[in-house]
Structure 1
C-alpha cells in the first residue's frame, strides 16, 4: 500500500515543471520514503504550484483549518513545501524536487541517498534536460573575465546580477553535490559552502536552517573564493536571480551527465565562449587545469630550447564560464560573445512556466503575478485553468 502511495507522489512530483521521473531501480521511491511520512505524502498529493493559504488547502484535504495549517508549516520547515509569508496568512506551494525539495534536505543526505539520487539525475538528464530547449540553469561568466566588455547585459555579469537591493537577503548553503561525494567517500578539496541564494529563496533557507545569511561584502568574498577554486557559476536561468550553483567536474551531477555527450556546449545556456590567441600563449597550462569541461587541450608543441605546449579550445565543449580567462597572465585567453540572442525568462516563475510548457505540464501552473491576482480575488482552480490556457 505504501509503495502505491509513494508512486502516486512520484507521479505528482513528475508533473512539476522540472520533472521527477520513474527509474528502473525504484530509487526515487526509496528517497521519497526517507523524506515523507505517509501522512505528508497524502498532503503533498493535494498541493499545487499556486501559493495558497491553509484554509483553502484544508478544504481539499477535508481537514480542520488549524490542523492543516500546522501540518503545512511543519512540511515547510522540513523542506517539503515552499512557504511565502504575507500579512494575511502564510502561503504554501508545491516546489520542484530537483532545485527544490532535494536541495532543502542537504543536511539529511547520507550515503544511501547519495547513491540512489544518481539514478534520478541520470533519468532527469536523459528525459528532461538533454533534448529540451529551456534549461533550469544558465552559465554566468566569472566577473573579471568580461570586465572589459562595454555592452554586457546586467544579467550576464555576476555582481550586477546578484547585488541589487531587490535580491536581499543573501544566503549560502552547502553544495549538495559535494555533500553527496563526501558521503560516498570521495570528498574533494573545493569549498563546500557555495550554494548561493537570493531574495525569497534566501529567506526560506535562513528561516528553516538550511543555510546562513551573508552580508553584501561576504557575498562578494564568497564569489571571489569560488573563482579562485575554479568553480563554474551557474545561476537560475532568469534575469532576476534566485539561486546560483558553483559547479566542478568532480562533483556536479549536471556536468557529470553532460560531459558524456559529443557536444556538451550545445546543452548549456551561455552567451560566451573562450578564444585563444596563440601568439600570446606561453604554454603554462593554467587554463587547462582550471577548465571544468576539459575544453582546453594540447594540440602540438613549439620547437625551441624547450618544447612549449600549444593549447587549443574545443568549441564543442567550451561553455564560456571565463575561468581560463581570469587566470591567464599574458592575456592570451578572452571571452567572445556568441552574438546569438539569449532568451532568458524575466523571473524564476516565468522560467518554470517555460519549463512546464515545453514538457506539456502547463496545467495548474501560472506566473506569480497571475497567482497573486487569483488569490486576491479568491478564484477557484477551474477559473485558474482558464487563465492558464488563454
Structure 2
C-alpha cells in the first residue's frame, strides 16, 4: 500500500485534517498527533485521511483510497474492532464511517480494558489535549449541544409535572428502547489511569448506558455488554442515589446514550467547571428555592455537580442568615440537589424558554456543522 510520496508525518497530519472536517472536529496539536500515532497504524491513518463524509459503501471507499475492496475490508475490520471506524448494515449492504473524536474514539478507547493499548499514556495524552486552547470549545462550545441534562422526575414540582415531555423522561427513553447496553464509564476509567478516583464514589463499571443501534454496535465490537430494561432502570436509580447527572444524547428521537456524570471526572461537566464552557443543554426545568424553608445547611451546594449553588448571608456578618442562592446561568435543571434538602425547600419548575433539542442525530450534526461553517 503506497503513500503517494507522503512521509509518515504527512499521513498523520492528513488524518488530523480529515478529523477536523467533522462537525465536532479535532484542533491540530502535537498532542493530537501523538494520540493518532498511538491509535492508528500508518496504513489505517492513510485510509482514515481519505474517508468521505458520513457513511459510505466499501466500493466508494475503495475508489477514494485506491485499495482493493478485499484488502480494504480487512483494514476496516481491524479499525472497527479498535473503535476507529463504525460499520452498519443497511439493506444487506455494509456502510462505513470514520469515527470522530467526540463522541467517538476518545470514548471508545476507555470503554473497555484493552491490553493492547498503553492506556496510561493515552489517559495522559487525552487529559492534556482536553486542556489545550480551543479544544473544550471545539468539543462542547457550539450553540447546539451534543449532550442534554435529563431531570430527576421526582424532583419536578407537582404543578408542572404534566408538562414533561417523553424525551425528557429517562425511564421512558429506556423503556422505549427495549433495553440496550452497559459499558465502563470511560471518563472515570481514564481518570483511574491518572491515579484519580471519583469524589462521589461513582462506579467505573456498568454505569454508562447505550441504546438502539449504538448499543448493538458497541456489543458487537466488544465495547459493551447487553442489558435489559430492568438492568438499565436500576442503573438510573443507582445514579440518582449517588447524585449523578443524567446526560443524554441531545436529540428528541432515539437517543444513543445516557451517561451518568460526576463533576470531578466527566469530560462534559469538567468543561463547565474547569473551562467555563457551557457544554450541555439544560433540561426544560430550573431549580426553584423556597427561601423561607431554606436553613442554609449547604447540602444542596455540596450535591451540585457544576457549582451552580452557593450560600449567601442575607444579613452580612450573620452566619445564621445564610440561604442557598442559584446561579441560573449554570443550573442544568437536573434535580440532583433536590433530594439532598431535608426541608423540602427545592423543586424543579419550568424554564421560561424552550431548550435547543434537535429532532434526530442528522439534524444535530447538521446544525453543529452549520454553526462552525463546515458545510
State the shift of 1:317 in Å: 2.5
Matches within 5 A, 1:216-365: 216-240=229-253, 241-260=255-274, 268-270=280-282, 271-300=284-313, 307=320, 309-362=322-375
- What CA RMSD, in Å, does the superposition of the two structures yield over aligned residues? 2.3
CA contact (8 A) 1:22 1:28 kept: yes
For 1:40, the equivalent position in structure 2 comes to 44
Of the structure 1 ranges 339-348 and 113-122, higher mean CA displacement relative to structure 2 is found in 113-122
For 2:109, the equivalent position in structure 1 comes to 105
Secondary structure in 1 matching 2:90: coil
Distance 2:155 2:88 in 1: 36
Secondary structure in 2 matching 1:91: strand
For 2:3, the equivalent position in structure 1 comes to none
1:84-139: CA deviations, max 9, x gaps? 12342221112321111221111346222112112332332234533x21111111
For 2:202, the equivalent position in structure 1 comes to 190
Secondary structure in 1 matching 2:76: helix
1:268-325: CA deviations, max 9, x gaps? 41122211102222444321221111222221289xxx94753222223322111011
Distance 2:275 2:95 in 1: 41
For 2:135, the equivalent position in structure 1 comes to 124
For 2:14, the equivalent position in structure 1 comes to 8
Matches within 5 A, 1:202-213: 202-213=215-226
For 1:144, the equivalent position in structure 2 comes to 154
Distance 1:250 1:109, change over 3 A: farther
- Residue 166 of structure 2 corresponds to residue 154 of structure 1: yes
Distance 1:267 1:31 in 2: 23
1:52-76: CA deviations, max 9, x gaps? 2222322222222222222212211
CA contact (8 A) 1:16 1:95 kept: no
Of the structure 1 ranges 173-182 and 6-15, higher mean CA displacement relative to structure 2 is found in 173-182
Distance 1:326 1:83 in 2: 42
Distance 1:210 1:308 in 2: 51
CA contact (8 A) 2:281 2:356 kept: no
CA contact (8 A) 1:237 1:344 kept: yes
CA contact (8 A) 1:55 1:69 kept: no
How many residues get paired?
353
Secondary structure in 1 matching 2:78: helix
CA contact (8 A) 1:21 1:120 kept: no
Distance 1:159 1:308, change over 3 A: same
Unmatched runs of 5 consecutive residues or more in structure 2: 1-6
Unmatched runs of 5 consecutive residues or more in structure 1: 363-390
Distance 2:155 2:61 in 1: 48
Of the structure 1 ranges 315-324 and 104-113, higher mean CA displacement relative to structure 2 is found in 104-113
Distance 2:42 2:118 in 1: 20
TM-score by length of 2: 0.87
For 1:51, the equivalent position in structure 2 comes to 55
